[in-house]
């Protein structure tokens, strides 16, 4: 089951590079400004617009024991860490 798409504004190229590094370190090798990657039963799709500093990201597939609420919270936490926006 696909999770809701998340859109993040104010994602600088440096913050996006940070997210790519975090995703890779967590076993999800993403590359490029847009694409799809799968690993360990998870499939993510993303589209980053560096000019608008906007990132759309969505988990399309996940193991049944990983609810969307948990997945989207993890993504949001990583974005906050990389953008320096620690507000929930």
Confidence bin at 87 (pLDDT 50/70/90): low
pLDDT exceeds 90 at position 86: no
Q: What is residue 88's predicted lDDT score, i.e. its pLDDT? A: 46
Check pLDDT > 80 for residue 1: no
Q: How far apart are CA 58 and CA 6, in angstroms?
A: 6
Is 84's pLDDT higher than 90?
no
Q: What is the CA radius of gyration of the chain?
A: 12
Nearest CA among 16, 76, 21 for reference residue 47: 16
8-63 pLDDT, tens digit per residue, is 999 999 999 999 999 999 888 888 999 999 999 999 999 999 999 999 999 999 99
- What's the whole-model pTM score? 0.88
Answer whether residue 5 shows pLDDT above 70.
yes
Give pLDDT, residue 35. Answer: 96
């Amino acid at each position: 089951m696909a999770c809701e798409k998340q859109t993040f504004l104010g994602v600088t190229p440096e913050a996006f590079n940070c997210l790519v590094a975090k995703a890779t370190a967590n076993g999800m090798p993403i590359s490029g400004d847009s694409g799809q990657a799968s690993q360990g039963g998870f499939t993510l799709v993303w589209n980053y617009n560096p000019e608008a500093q906007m990132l759309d990201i969505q988990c399309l597939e996940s193991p049944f024991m990983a609810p969307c609420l948990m997945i989207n919270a993890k993504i949001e936490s990583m974005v906050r860490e990389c953008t320096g926006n620690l507000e929930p």
